[in-house]
Structures are given as structure tokens and as C-alpha cells.
Structure 1
Amino acid sequence: MKYLKSAFLLVLVLQFSACANLDDIWPGSAKASSSVIKPLSDQREYRYIRLENGLKVLLVSDAAADKAAASLDVNVGSRQDPEDYQGLAHFLEHMLFLGTEKYPEAGAYQAFITAHGGSHNAFTSFEDTNYFFDISADSLEPALDQFAQFFVAPLFNAEYVGREVNAVNSEYRARIKDDRRRELAVFKSQLNPAHPFSKFSVGNLNTLQSANEDALREQLLAFYERNYSANIMSLTVIGRESLDELEAMVLPKFSAVENRQRQLEVIAEPLFKAGDLPRWINIQPVQNRRSLSVNFPVPDAEPHWRSKPLNYIGNILGHEGEGSMLSVLKAKGWADSLSAGESLNFQGGAMFGVEVALTEVGLAHVDEIVALIYQNIEQLRAQGIEHWRFTEQAGLAMQGFMFRAQPAAINDVVQLSMALQRYPAAEVMRAPYLMNDYRPKLLSEFLAAMRPENSFITLVAPGVKTTTEVSRYQVDYSVRPLTAAELTGFLPPESASLTLPAKNNFVASDFGLKSGAGGGKPVRVASAAPIELWLNTDDVFELPKAKLNLLLASGQASGDVDALAKTEMWLRMVKDQLNELTYPAQLAGLDFDLDVGWRGIEISIGGFNEKQGELLAELLTALTSPDWQESRFARLQAQRLRQFENAVKQSPYQQLIAELPRMLNHENPGLAAHEAATRKLTMAAVAEHAAVVLNSLQPRMLLDGNFDQADAKKMAKLVAKALSVKYAQTAPLQHISHLAVANTVREIAAEHDDSAALLYLQSGETGMSARVAMGLTAQILSADFYHQLRTRKQLGYVVSASVYPQRDIGGLIFLVQSSVVDSASLQTEIKQYLSDWLETGVDEATFAQHKASLLKRLAEQPENLWEAAGRHWRDLLENYQAFDSREQLVQALTDLSYADWVAAVNRDLANGSQRGLFLYAAGKWPKNMPVGPRVESPEAFKRELPAYPFN
């Protein structure tokens, strides 16, 4: 066994703490570098440089990387929008992608990234705009060359102004019924109008004054020239090249970014004007949801990142263990969940909030719940500022940093580029975790702001009385008259049941690394326990962490919709019962899940390996001996029924995506049938069903990570002891619809003005060759489909084409949501696109380029332990016991000739030979119906079709 001694860990922590005052001390030199403080397992090399133009750059050399990535953050966002052009920063983000002086073709960047196995995106927030991409590691240099030009010489072509302002408007329209957006709109309406956060950040045709495109472009150019300055930009690049090579790659490309000496103004205005608080707002939601939040304006916590006062307070108020606020509320039947923490931050200020998801019963007790929140804060103020609590939180955070699982490169670069704007370069990785400065007086100062008279309270619930509307989001709300004295009157005598968290018993202390056979793939382990047991002792990522996956296979668990509904409710009861116990485990880096699928019940545990056995034992005990409480059952059943009700109120494109597997997978019931089965459940029927399922289980377990054979056998014995294992049962099968040559049409009744369309095309053949042919087709046409239907024709904000395999069945989906045309027109546009694409054809050179790119993507190694474990588990479940599904795909693609691919494309995509399923939402055009044979329900559709069986 390899050991990472605790004493050694302590020495490292102390050494790193000694570097805590390293600062950004290298301006003006492109040769200077720093030792970025990094996790123990991180083998990458880092270099920080500051270019002569002031641009901050973090270079990350990872010799083993299959994917390169880059992110550039501009410390400018909607905060800088002009009052009469709100949404301009967001609009600029859209326009920046549409050509530069060096690369003038709109869509060329997107096409290049896609053709080389990558992805790209951007986002605009209040104080940042971030642009990012990933790509095959050997294509980083040309991708960076195109990327850099966005910040050197963008064209902002006048011909695209009208098109892209429509895209921004479509993005706004697509989320007009999103409750979070609507609540944010009401919140902004209550702020001090002089504070920049009160502005409308998304933008639409009105706020961007789209009728005058010339004026809008002038505003766009002025905004760019004023704000896009190298001295407020930060760039992170990850590549397999050496640091010197990366520096030589970046320096000439980004040194040309102009330094306009932009200095960000201090926000002088308060978030709320004097006398505005306390305030209580009632909001009518779209979905059937009930929430109560109490927020407080507090000082800016960012300067105190070494102390993290709001993290400390949020961790205590948001605790879910015994005696916590959530525990008390659940016992009363008033709440389903609770969260606490920083809800808004900006230069110079922040807000802290506690949000409670209410039950119907809880809605009648909102005043008492608000009082309980105040009481818990007062309890923390009086009793909870203790050094041991801070030390425990700091220790858990430092463990999280030291043994951080490396994120995907595209996520890592975004996090690091934003961190460069906020922390010293040496601390960009550690700073989000660091708590090394215990300051009780500072904690008291933040808690002092969390008093009743400083409250902004929001109640969101169906049926609340409303008197006013924010027309932009069509959201009704009202202000409940309230005084500080009334709020103080809510306070009852102190609740004896409300306690502060106890010490956490799940904190890991053994960081030893286990030794095993290695090889990178799981092996079957012979065990005395009657369990199919697999083990992969990791020798790649070298973390004291692991992933445990356990399948309790049973045809009884989800054999029909009634059985599925019963098993779901049983598992929900178990998870709710365990919440007080398992929440400290989650804080200590141990996550778990418990779910049901067509194979049976799946249990997964991930995180530090030391305590996983203890957590698994608790899970199995609760699974086999649930605490059958009628009150808990009623609360969870009502919660599940609300989820069904709210599913039909999501955005149209989300509903179409969710409906597709219900149409294809025979074991996946339709939404209406699933809801009906859940509605008729009784606790007695669920308990009886659980007993039956427990007598029909076939366990299959895979341990991946820092486990050895002794650990695996111990876990197997634990499972065998807890469960009645039956090998005689017949393993369940999965059945996937075998579509006929047709374009069957099904309408989804989405409550939204936008139309939406999803065309699914199933391959006419099964097997690896058909799968990779579809995958290659998706890669070749996806960027062009997006460019033609979104950029050129401006049909909508949501436009995508992607591969959609189902086991060994290849498939493609084409998806569009539109605020400007009906679903029949979308059907015509998608069909016309396919017809034009087939007619234009793809030459053999393009085929070869994309094939090589896809081969690289398929051969990419997992970026972290969790991705590796996920791949292994999927292979095991799908009976690739050599764990070689990727290798088989690579071989199939290698063997795919141009002629074979062309034949497959014509077979699967040509009009008249398509095995298609067209799902749509009519939006505000109910009479304009797509053409094709119609089906009314998933059950009726699947009854009429043969199915491919899979075990």
C-alpha cells in the first residue's frame, strides 16, 4: 500500500499556508512565472504571466491531455449596459462570434471547433463575460489563433445585427415562463433603480432598440471599444505542449489585444434605498411550486476570501442533520428542502439568503417559518461562532482541495480564468477552498446584518393575491405591507428542538493509496458472497477516493408502471429517512444516490473511500427496514405529483427531449400513465411491494478507485448479509422501439407561446458500424445545421443537431424552438435542410477529416476518476465485460469507408427512407399542424411496433 501520511499532509498544508500572501507581482513581463498552489494529485505544470498589454494569462501544461481548452474572461458584463440599451453586453457576446478581419466567414470558428472534436460557448453575467472552448489537443494552436481574433479585430458586420438581435430576443422569449427568471425580474423591480443590478440583463427587441440597426451597431462598437480592454481580461489555456511552447503560442496572438486602460468604477449606490426594507413580496408562479426565501443585504464578502464568513454561516444554517432547521420543518410537515448561502454578489456588496421549499401545509405557516429562520440566526449569533466549527469547515474544504478530482478541461479553464480576476495568481486553484483566517468579530459583523428589519422576503406560491405585474416576464406579484415591529412579533418562544450541528463523524482521516493489479480495467473478483463482484484498483488518478456502484437487479422492481411507481416511492421514503444521517457524510465528501431503472435498483456512493462501508451499511439497513410513516409518505407523494404537474410546464424543447425516451423505451412509461400510477399509491401497497422486491434481487457490484480486494470482499459480505440474494431470477430485458419507415407525429401540449420541433431519425441497421456512421454524420452536419437555421434564418435560440444512440441503435436528433414560426414550418425547414445537405453532399476529404477527429474523440481517456468509473459501469451494465465498448467503436469507425458511410447516410436520412419520429409543441399556432401519421400516446405508439431486446 502506498501511504499519503496525515503528518505529511499537515506539513504540506502548513507550507502552502506560508505562501498565502503571494500576490500578482509579475506585471509587464512575459517571462515571469509562478508556482500555482495545486492539489497533491495534480501532475500538471502551471505558469502565470502578465503580458505587456496587461492581460493576465495562466498556462497549464498537461502532457497526457487528449483535450486542450481555453477561456478568456472579460471583467465586464450587464453592469456596464447603457440605461437605454439594456442587454448590450449580452448582445455583444452573440455578435463577437460572427467573423473577424483575419477570419471573416461567420460560422467558420464554430465549424473548425466541431470538425476537430471540440465544443464552444460563452455567457454574460453581471460583472463578467466569458468565452471558452475545448478541442482535440493537437488542434489548439489554430483554434487559439481564431479565438484571439475576437478580442483583436472583430468585424461586427452590419448584416448580422438584425439577425443576432432576433436571436437575443428569442433567448429572452424562450425563458419567459421560467420561474427563476420571473422571480429575478420581480426582485430587480424592487431594487434601487440607480443600482446597476436593477437593469434587464438579457435584452430584447425593445431594450436594444432593434428598429434602428445602425444606431445599435454604433452602440455595440462603442461598448466594445470602451470595455474590451486587455488590462481587465484574464486567459487560461490548457494544452499538452510544454509551458514554454504554450507561452510561445499565446504571446504573439494575445499581445495584440488592445489595452484601453479600462478602470472599473466603484458601485456607489446601495442595492436598496433607505427605508425600502423590510419588504415582503408575493409572486404567482407558472409551475406548481411553493418557496419562501428570506434574504439580507450584507457587506461584500470577497475581500474576506481567506475567512469566507458567508460560507461559514451558510454551512450552519443550511445544515440538514438532526436538530437542524430543515429537520424541525420536516417534522412539522412544512418543508421538503432548505438551502442557505450567498444568493448574490457584486463588487461592493452581496446578499445572503435562506430558501425553503414549502409543502401545501407549510404554506399556511409562513410567518412561523420566517420566525424560525430569525431564531436560528439568533442562535448562531449567540452560540455558533466557535473555533472548532471553523476548523472543521476549513479542514473539510482543504481536503476537498488537496484531493480535488480534476474537472473536464473546458470546465477547468472557465473556473480558472474567472478566478484570475479575483485572486492572486498563486491562489487561483486553492482560494475557493481556503479558510485559514478565523475572525469571530467578522462573523458577528455579517450576522449583524441578518436581522428582521433588514429582510427581503419572497413567497412564491399558486393562488397568492397579486396586484401588480412585471410585464416583461408576464409575472404577477404584490407587496405585503410589513413593518420591522410586525416581523419581530413573528418570533415565538425559543424552540427546544432547534440545535446547532454536532461534530461530523464522517470526516476522513486515512488517505492511504491502495495497491492492486492495475491495468486500468475492472476484473472479476471471486468472493464467498453470492454476488457478482468487480474491482478496479485505480493506479492512474491516485486519489484516496472511489466510486461504488451496486445494481440490485430485479424484474419485480419496475416490471410495469405500477411497480415502477411503487419502487420510486419506496426509495424516496428511504432517502428522506436517511437525510439527517447522510447530510454530514455529504459535507465530508461522500455523495450517494438511490434510484430505480428497468434493470432494478441502483445504489451509488462516491467520494473518500474510508467511510463508504459505513454509509453503505446505513443505506442497506434503511432499504430493508424502512421507517414507514404516513406523514412522510403523504409529503413525498405530494412532492412527486407536483413534479409530474410541473413537467408539462417546462420549456417546450425540454419537454420534447424528455418525451423521446418515453416513445422509444418500452420500460419507460408515458408521463400521464406514470402520474396516474403514483396518484393511486397507498403506503401499505408500497410496503408490500418492497417486501416482494427484496426477495428477488441479483446484486452486481463494481468498486472503482481506491479499493483493494480485501475492501471488495468486505463490501460484498456486507451486501450479502443485508439482502436476500436470488440467482434463480430471470434478468429483465430492455425493449427499444424498432421504427418503421415513416415520420410519425406526436404533439406535446406545452404551455408556452413558442413552438418547438424535434425530429428523431433511427438507423435502419443495428450494431457498432451503424452507430459510428450516425455519430460521424452528426459531427459533420451539426455546426452547419446550427449556422443555417439559427444564424442565417433566425428560426430560434435553441437549435441543435446531435447523435442519439440507444444501446446498439444509431440515431440523430434535430431540435429547434422558435418564437417566430410555427411547428409545421419547423418541420418543413428541418426536412429541407436535410434534403439540401444530401444534395450538396460531403466530399471524401471532408469525410476523412471528420473521421480522424471523431476517432480522436472516441480514443480520449477519462479526465478524472468519476468519468472513468462511469465508463466502466456503463460497460458492465451493457455486458461489455472486457470493458472495451470504446475500442469497439474505434474499430468500427476505423473500418468505415467513405462509400459505406454514404450508403448509410442515404439509407437513414433520405426522404422516403427515414425511420422518423417527429415531436412538436404548437405554441401560439395551434392550427398549423405538421404532417404525418399521428399518435396520441407513448403506450399506443409502442404497442404498434416491434422492439429490439437488450439485456
Structure 2
Amino acid sequence: MQLPALIKSPTDERDYRLIQLNNKLEVLCIHEADADQAAAAMSIHAGHFDDPQESQGLAHFLEHMLFLGTEGYPDPEAYQNFISTYGGHHNAWTGTEYTSFYFSIQHDQLDAALDRFARFFYQPLLAQEWVEKERQAVESEYRLKLNDELRRLYQVHKATANPAHPFSKFSVGNLTTLRDQKNLPLVQQLRAFFAEHYRSQRMRLVLAGPQSLDQLAQLAAAHFEPIQREDSPKQKLSEPLYLPEQLGVEMHVQPVKDARRLILSFPLPAIDNDYAYKTTSFIAHIIGYEGPASLYSALRQRDWVNSLSAGGGISGSNFKDFNINLQLTEEGLQHIDEIVRWVFAYIRLIAATGIDDWRYQERKQLVELNFRYHEPVRTVELASQLAVNAQHYKAEDVIYGDYRMDGLNKHKAREFLELLQPERLRMTIIHRALPTDKVTELYHTPYSIKPFSRSRLQLFKQEPADFSASLPSKNEFISGQLDAHPLEDSSSTSTNPKLFTINKALRIWHLQDPDFRQPKGHIYAGFLLPEVAQSAKNFANARLWCELILDELNERCYDAEIAGLHFNLYPQQRGVTLHIAGFSPAQVKLLEQVVECMRSLLPDPKRWQALRQKLISNWRSAHTHKPMNKLFAELNFYLQPGSFRMDELAVELKQTDFNSFEDITGQFFEQLNVDLLCHGDVPATAVDNIAQVLTDTFRLAEQAPLNAAIPPRMLTRGVCEQRAATSSHSDSALLWFVQGGNADIHEQAGFMLLNQFISPEIFNQLRTEQQLGYLVGSNYLPMQQVPGILMYVQSPTASVSKLRSCLASFAESFLTELPDFLAEGWTAAQQSLVRQLRDQDPNLRIRSQRLWSSITQFDHDFSRLEQLAQAVIDWQPKQMLDFARQNLRDNSAEIWLHTEAKPTERN
């Protein structure tokens, strides 16, 4: 049965059809004529809220188990290996009330992939032999994030919510919660949960690819009609998220990292029925506005906050938290109550004079522009997003629902604002020095909760004597109808930029894109400043300088930002990069403001101190990062010139005073070279204007830049290097990096191909079979075009010596089995890699990133990817066998890095 037509953007060239199968499963078919890959996604209206009280984490555990074999394909590696062989990607997640599975694949393999995927939902094995192993995987996933700040805060949230509401349940699961119950083994619990919840009417399927809509509909019917129906409706949530005594409270939370945050949270009714009006989003936009005279501006001028955002917070079928998040300064920590008074005064101001139709229409106009000119995403991203949307929106709004704004409901807006009262406030302060008297069970987070006194509630209702914030004015950056400029050379179909050399110091690459005909553009300006990466002191000060520029411009450019014009500034190995993106008409104007600020920055000492302290705190918290992230950073530091450890950057910035900062950064722009990419809807006249802005603003060097990358440190063949890193985590971690001998294109292709075979095998052996840990894998990792492969494992149970033994054994077994792998999978792996290298750019943003990456890597004819594809084609299986033995056993250039587990009560 065909369902109503979907509302789509006038610039969306895809075709859509919504159908219902005989078992009542709703399926969205998407025909994308030029897609390189096909994709499928399935969402299920079941999540951790549905876990039995005595088996918390069961929904998440079932998500894991569905990957481990079906009646038609009992091999637990069959699905993953098939997807990997044909250049695909797969994943899944379990949320509060929904679970989602998705994959991508070569489009000519969609039928075979669906035959494997669909069986998850009607004939999973749920084999006893894999239950115990996968319990260990879930335990590893839980242990992996014991120090994760969001998980630790989330657990405090659960501990201070209504224990009768399913939100309070433990969502991940571990060895304690996932176990046999009296008279009910865990495998039977899984089967019972599957039988109750994995039913066609609770599912939404999306199939997308270059196949016709009729073909996709036929595939859906052929593979998914065996899914069982369930006619009884799902029971609705009735318990409130919070009890009365859990409102009007102050909570303290001690983080692992050095953090200063204030979260003001208010409970609201569910907002699903408001999606066509987006009332909460409209209010959040006003509260979170960061332009001149805003609430944020006033608090920032008092040196109380570094950032402010509004509107986030958990939501579900019977609840919504409306959060106001503030990043505090050291000074702000001393003025919490004053900040809260300012927030409530601003809310009252909105209620009195801010509920205006013109504000809503302005917001709607921006949203409609974003809908009209929404950039295409990769096929699998679209499928996974729409499979979830289909659970929340009317059929015709599956795409448009995220953008729909039918009008301002003033009554609802005022009702909503009435709920933002001190008596309903849940205030959370996050800082390491706060007093606490409780600890959460699962993530061991110190916290406290206490009610506000009556006098404090009254204080929050009093207007600050110096209150000066005002509501946003009309946004002059919002345009009406936008259209792309006509192509200046309509006969050209080239997607490679042309190089214009203005002088020795300024090189401009320009491409008016012939494919993505939207009024959007990207400008990348690479300011080549060798001094930046000469020392940790210089790099730390360059990072602070970039933060000060962004901070200085945030307020005056905020209207441009919310009108779809974005910019970023960051230091890198060869200097500083400026990136401007978004709607093209005002890009040159924004560029002028940014480069003028770069040239003439006179930082306010208070803001300098606040942002300096923020960076130092962030860098000092590096020891709390996941062990594997620490090892990746250590590898980069050891092999890549111009890379620095975060603790080293923190020390250098701590030792820098204001005058030293001005001396160091003042020398950066004495003379410079600039590489510039102008791409998208950027006509030649705009390029001329940009060049003029740069030559007028900066003193350009008289020498041309060096066209050579700084080579990485080369490891010595036959020498096994070893390094250790420190970590505060309870997991051990090991990383093994094997480096190529040179940057030759043939060598690069060889390492890429080798990783195609290693990647699925290392996951299957060390993760699925041996259950060493949740984080296991391999990656192709080039450094300045010198190729390499890294293999890694992080484990909550095994020592570093055990991990090394297992990884070495894996390498030996892999080399033993490689002849069979090559005989069975060479052609598929080779073709898959060539397809990836020749993948079409899905949108303007990704094409711009690729072009800029080519420029920064001195691939100025933009041919490296095609050269790599051809080099992959030239490789033969016999060569690969010798190549693998040479690099994994005989005479490798290798380094092993590790972190030891920090002892905890649990281990």
C-alpha cells in the first residue's frame, strides 16, 4: 500500500515513496540516481526504557546479539565480513525509547546485504555460546566510559529523577545486570524481549540507492515481510520524570576534568506534538542569542561566563527538559546566584515583550532557507536519519518535520515561559572543589542535592539592580530569495580549481562549482607562519590568539552566524587557517571583519585571562582521556614534527604573561605567505575582492613558500621501538604502528590494501572471539603521505603483556591465513578500495574539504586519489603476500605504545 507523498526541498533531486507492506511495516524507498552506494536503516520503537527492572541494559545487549548470526547466516562474522568486503559500513545504537540499525554497501550488493540484514528482525540465532562472550563486550563498553563526563553526569541525573520512571534505569548494562535470573536464563530473557518488541508495526524501514523506486519496494517486500506483526498498542508512559521534591533543587557534581559549568534545567511536557510549531526552539533561540546587548553579552562583560546555550536537554514521549548551559569563568563561580537572577530577569523580559510574530517569521525564514538549500548527505546518513524521523512525524513530514514552522502559538509560548520558574528549577553546578555527600553506584560520581531555601527562591525572582540585557533586534543578514550566480564558464565541467598567482606570497585556487548549484561557498585561507610550530610556547600562544579572535568576533558576527554564515580560525603545523562557510552573498564582508580583527587585535586583559585559563584547564585534563586517545596523541607527537603534548602546552601557556603573549603573537604577521581556496558560489569578482582585502591588510612576504611537507620521523627497519604513556583509566591499552619505507604511491596503495584484509580479521579475532575489549581495530594512517597501519586494543581485563602477546599471535595467524584471504577476497577488496577512492563528493562541504586537503598536501593538480586508485589496481596478490610478511614480520619499521591500567576498586 502506498502512503502520502513526502514534502521535500525544491532542490532535492531524490525521489521518495512511502509504502506499507502486508505485515504493516512502513517502508520509505529513496531513489538517488547517482549514488555510489546503497543503504538501509531500521528503527525500532523499543529502547532501554523497555528493559525489565531486573535486567537493565537488555535492549542494548540484544542490539549486540543481533549481529552474531541468524538462522540463514549462522556464522557470527558473516554480516560484518560481507559489509566490509563490499566497501560498506554498519552500526547500531540503543536509545531511551528507540533502537536503530543501519548499513551502507556497494549498490550492486544491496539485495544480498538485505538478505543478511533483514533476518536480524525475524530469525536471529541468539545463540547461548555467544551470550557469555557478548556480556564481556558490554562490560567492556561500560568500563570504557567510567570516566566519561557525560555518562557520569547522566548517572547523577538518573539518581535524582523519579525512580519509578524508566529514565532512572541503567541503559548500558554490565555483568551484574545482565545475568541469568531465577528460572529464566539470560538467553530466554533476550528471546522474550525480542518477541515482545521487535514487531513490524513498531518498526520503520528506509531503503536508499540508485535502484528504481519499484525495485526498492520489491526488495522491501521480498526481505522484510516475514517480520511478525503485533496488533496490541504499546503501553504509554504515565509516571512523571521528577517527583515534587526533586524540583527547586541545587545539585553539585564533581567532574573528572577541570570544569566549571552551570546547568539550569526546567521540566516541560513532551514536545512531540509541537514539532509543526517549534515553540521551545523559538524561545531557546532568544535566550541563547549571543549578539550585542544579549544576556550572554551582559554576563560575558562581567567576566562571569565563557559561553551560553539554551534548549538542549533530554526528551521523550512524556517529558522534556529545557536546559540553559553556561560555561563559567573562575569569577563566575563566585556569582552563581547573580547569574541565575539575570537569567530569570531575561525570561521575564521575553514573556513581557519578546513573543512577537516578526521574531518567529525571521526564524522561520532562516529555517526555510536551510531546508531549500540543505546540502545532500551520504546515502547511509540520510537513511538512518529518516528511519528515526519516521517514528516521530506524520508520513508527509518525514523529511520536512525537522524544518516545519507553521506559525507562532503565543498562548503556548507564554504557557511554556510560565513553567520556567525558580520553584521548578533543577540547578546543577559542576566543579571539582564543590562539597558533595553522595556517590552514584555505577559511575562513582560524587554529587549532592538539596532544596532551595525560601529566601533563595525569592532572591531569584528579584530583578538585578544593574540589569541591562535587551532582546535581539532585527537581523540585517537575513536575505529573502537567494540564488546561485550564473556559471561564468558554462561549458566547463571540471571540478578542479584553477590556480591564480597574484604575487609570490599569495596563491589563489578558484572553482565556481558546476555540480552543487547553491548560493553557498567555502573560503579557506592558510596563513603560512613557520614560527607557529617552532615551539610548544609559540603553538600554545597561537591557539590562545585564535580563541581571542573568535571570542572578539562572536558578538558582532553572531547575526551572520545564525543567518547561515560561519567561520573558524585554528593553528596547524604550517601556521594558521581561516575557514569561512555558508551562504555566499556576505562572505567577503565577513572576511573583511575577520582579517581586520586578526591584524589589529587588542585583547581585553580579563578575557585574555579567562580564555587562557580555559585552555590550560582543557590541556591539563588530557590525562583523563581514554587510554587509546592518549596513545593516538602520543604516536602523533613522537612521529610528527610540530606536534606537542597537551600537558606541555599547558605548562608553556601557564608561564606566559600578557606582555609575553603580545610579543610572541606580534611577530607572527610581520611577513607571511597565504594560500587561498575560493570554492562554490564564488564568482571571479568576489575572488578579486578577497585578494584585495588580503593584500591591503597584511604585509606579504617577498619569498614564495616552500612546496614541501615537513617529513615525519622515520622508524628504523628491524628495530622495535617501545614507549609508555600515563593514564588515569582502569583499562590497559596497546597500539602497534607499522610504518612504510617511503611516500611512494605504490607503497601507499599497498598499505591501504593490507588494511582492507587486516581490519575485519582483527575485529573478529580479538573483539568477537577473544573478547579482549570493546575498542579493537586497525586503521590505515599516513603521515605526510608516508603510509602506515596501526592496530590497537583497549581492555578492562587483560594486562599490557597479555595484549601484546595476543596482538603478536594475531599477526602470525593472519599471515598464515593470508593466502586464503587473498584467494577468496582479493578482487572484492581491490574493487571496494578503488570505489572508495573514486567516490563522488556528496556535497559542497566535503568537496571543499577534499580540495583544501589536496592543497595543503601539495597535490596541486588534485590527482592523488586517482593515482592511488590506479596504484591499487596495479597490485597483484603475490606482491601483497610478500609485502605483508615484510611489514608484519621480517623487517618491519614499528613502534609499540601502551598504557597500564590504573588499579580501581572494581579490578
The match for 1:860 is: 839
Q: Please list the CA deviations of residues 802-853 of structure 1 after superposition, one character each: whole Å capped at 9, or x if unmatched.
A: 1111232111111211111111211111111011100122333422221111
The match for 1:933 is: none
SS in 2 for 1:781: helix
In structure 2, do the counterparts of structure 1 residues 220 and 568 end up closer, same or farther at CA, with 3 Å as the change threshold? same
Q: Which sits farther off after the overlay, 526-535 or 251-260?
A: 526-535
Q: CA deviation at 1:888?
A: 0.8
Question: Are 1:446 and 2:416 counterparts?
Answer: yes
SS in 1 for 2:53: coil
Q: Flag structure 1 segments of 5+ consecutive residues without an equivalent.
A: 1-28, 927-951
Does structure 1 retain, via aligned residues, the 8 Å contact 2:633–2:645?
Answer: no
Question: Are 1:235 and 2:211 counterparts?
Answer: no
Does structure 2 retain, via aligned residues, the 8 Å contact 1:342–1:350?
Answer: no
Alpha-carbon distance in structure 1 between the residues aligned to 2:720 and 2:347: 59
Q: Flag structure 2 segments of 5+ consecutive residues without an equivalent.
A: none
Identify which of 297, 301, 318 aligns with 2:267.
297
Q: Please list the CA deviations of residues 30-54 of structure 1 after superposition, one character each: whole Å capped at 9, or x if unmatched.
A: xx25432222221111111111211
The match for 2:724 is: 747
One-letter code aligned to 1:194: A
Q: Please list the CA deviations of residues 403-451 of structure 1 after superposition, one character each: whole Å capped at 9, or x if unmatched.
A: 0001122221111000011112221111101112211111011111110
Question: Are 1:812 and 2:784 counterparts?
Answer: no
The match for 2:740 is: 763
The match for 1:738 is: 714
Does structure 2 retain, via aligned residues, the 8 Å contact 1:229–1:261?
Answer: no
In structure 2, do the counterparts of structure 1 residues 489 and 205 end up closer, same or farther at CA, with 3 Å as the change threshold? same
One-letter code aligned to 1:736: P
The match for 2:298 is: 328
Question: Are 1:917 and 2:867 counterparts?
Answer: no
The match for 1:496 is: 467
One-letter code aligned to 1:745: Q
Q: Please list the CA deviations of residues 467-523 of structure 1 after superposition, one character each: whole Å capped at 9, or x if unmatched.
A: 111121111111234235422213343543211112222223452222133411111
Q: Which sits farther off after the overlay, 98-107 or 324-333?
A: 324-333
In structure 2, do the counterparts of structure 1 residues 671 and 276 end up closer, same or farther at CA, with 3 Å as the change threshold? closer
Alpha-carbon distance in structure 1 between the residues aligned to 2:662 and 2:573: 20
The match for 1:80 is: 50
Q: Please list the CA deviations of residues 688-713 of structure 1 after superposition, one character each: whole Å capped at 9, or x if unmatched.
A: 23332212211111111111211211
Alpha-carbon distance in structure 2 between the residues aligned to 1:240 and 1:484: 64
Q: CA deviation at 1:595?
A: 0.8
Does structure 2 retain, via aligned residues, the 8 Å contact 1:596–1:602?
Answer: yes
Does structure 1 retain, via aligned residues, the 8 Å contact 2:39–2:383?
Answer: yes
Q: CA deviation at 1:211?
A: 8.2
Identify which of 50, 54, 57 aligns with 2:20.
50
Aligned residues: 895
Q: CA deviation at 1:567?
A: 1.6
Alpha-carbon distance in structure 1 between the residues aligned to 2:514 and 2:3: 31
Question: Are 1:906 and 2:906 counterparts?
Answer: no
Alpha-carbon distance in structure 2 between the residues aligned to 1:776 and 1:262: 51
The match for 2:402 is: 432
The match for 2:773 is: 796
Identify which of 780, 805, 809 aligns with 1:828.
805
Q: Please list the CA deviations of residues 40-78 of structure 1 after superposition, one character each: whole Å capped at 9, or x if unmatched.
A: 221111111111211111111111001211110001101
Q: CA deviation at 1:176?
A: 0.8
Q: Please list the CA deviations of residues 140-160 of structure 1 after superposition, one character each: whole Å capped at 9, or x if unmatched.
A: 111111111100200000001
Q: CA deviation at 1:730?
A: 4.9
Alpha-carbon distance in structure 2 between the residues aligned to 1:648 and 1:262: 51
Q: CA deviation at 1:674?
A: 2.1
One-letter code aligned to 1:916: E
Alpha-carbon distance in structure 1 between the residues aligned to 2:499 and 2:743: 29
TM-score normalized by the length of structure 1: 0.92
Q: CA deviation at 1:209?
A: 2.4
Q: CA deviation at 1:659?
A: 2.1
One-letter code aligned to 2:178: L
Aligned residue runs from structure 1 range 142-221, under 5 A: 142-209=112-179, 215-221=185-191
SS in 2 for 1:248: helix
In structure 2, do the counterparts of structure 1 residues 97 and 212 end up closer, same or farther at CA, with 3 Å as the change threshold? farther
Q: Please list the CA deviations of residues 888-920 of structure 1 after superposition, one character each: whole Å capped at 9, or x if unmatched.
A: 11111111122222222112111x522112121
Q: Which sits farther off after the overlay, 513-522 or 345-354?
A: 513-522
Identify which of 686, 696, 700 aligns with 1:711.
686
The match for 2:81 is: 111
Does structure 2 retain, via aligned residues, the 8 Å contact 1:77–1:89?
Answer: yes
Question: Are 1:882 and 2:854 counterparts?
Answer: no
The match for 1:894 is: 873
Does structure 1 retain, via aligned residues, the 8 Å contact 2:48–2:97?
Answer: yes
Does structure 2 retain, via aligned residues, the 8 Å contact 1:804–1:811?
Answer: yes
The match for 1:698 is: 673
Alpha-carbon distance in structure 1 between the residues aligned to 2:683 and 2:631: 44
One-letter code aligned to 2:106: S
In structure 2, do the counterparts of structure 1 residues 342 and 636 end up closer, same or farther at CA, with 3 Å as the change threshold? closer
One-letter code aligned to 2:855: L
Alpha-carbon distance in structure 2 between the residues aligned to 1:608 and 1:737: 41
Identify which of 300, 314, 317 aligns with 1:344.
314
Aligned residue runs from structure 1 range 681-696, under 5 A: 681-696=656-671
In structure 2, do the counterparts of structure 1 residues 922 and 449 end up closer, same or farther at CA, with 3 Å as the change threshold? same
Q: CA deviation at 1:199?
A: 0.8
The match for 1:487 is: 457
Does structure 1 retain, via aligned residues, the 8 Å contact 2:504–2:703?
Answer: no
Does structure 2 retain, via aligned residues, the 8 Å contact 1:755–1:925?
Answer: no
Does structure 2 retain, via aligned residues, the 8 Å contact 1:69–1:134?
Answer: yes
Alpha-carbon distance in structure 1 between the residues aligned to 2:869 and 2:369: 38
Aligned residue runs from structure 1 range 406-555, under 5 A: 406-490=376-460, 491-493=462-464, 495-509=466-480, 511-514=482-485, 515-517=487-489, 518=492, 519-525=494-500, 527=502, 531-555=506-530
Aligned residue runs from structure 1 range 279-678, under 5 A: 279-490=249-460, 491-493=462-464, 495-509=466-480, 511-514=482-485, 515-517=487-489, 518=492, 519-525=494-500, 527=502, 531-678=506-653
One-letter code aligned to 2:769: R
One-letter code aligned to 2:510: L
In structure 2, do the counterparts of structure 1 residues 606 and 210 end up closer, same or farther at CA, with 3 Å as the change threshold? farther
Q: CA deviation at 1:566?
A: 2.1
In structure 2, do the counterparts of structure 1 residues 138 and 807 end up closer, same or farther at CA, with 3 Å as the change threshold? farther
SS in 1 for 2:227: coil
The match for 1:21 is: none
Does structure 2 retain, via aligned residues, the 8 Å contact 1:696–1:729?
Answer: no
In structure 2, do the counterparts of structure 1 residues 254 and 321 end up closer, same or farther at CA, with 3 Å as the change threshold? same
Q: Please list the CA deviations of residues 615-664 of structure 1 after superposition, one character each: whole Å capped at 9, or x if unmatched.
A: 11110011001122111111111011001111111111222222221111
Does structure 1 retain, via aligned residues, the 8 Å contact 2:47–2:95?
Answer: yes
One-letter code aligned to 2:897: L
Alpha-carbon distance in structure 1 between the residues aligned to 2:621 and 2:245: 37
The match for 1:277 is: 247
Q: CA deviation at 1:82?
A: 0.5
Does structure 2 retain, via aligned residues, the 8 Å contact 1:757–1:823?
Answer: yes
Q: Please list the CA deviations of residues 165-199 of structure 1 after superposition, one character each: whole Å capped at 9, or x if unmatched.
A: 11111111110111111111111111111111111
Alpha-carbon distance in structure 1 between the residues aligned to 2:453 and 2:738: 60
Q: CA deviation at 1:739?
A: 0.6
Does structure 1 retain, via aligned residues, the 8 Å contact 2:533–2:643?
Answer: no
One-letter code aligned to 1:126: T
The match for 2:852 is: 873
Alpha-carbon distance in structure 2 between the residues aligned to 1:889 and 1:453: 63
Does structure 1 retain, via aligned residues, the 8 Å contact 2:341–2:464?
Answer: no
Does structure 2 retain, via aligned residues, the 8 Å contact 1:49–1:56?
Answer: yes
Alpha-carbon distance in structure 2 between the residues aligned to 1:142 and 1:416: 23
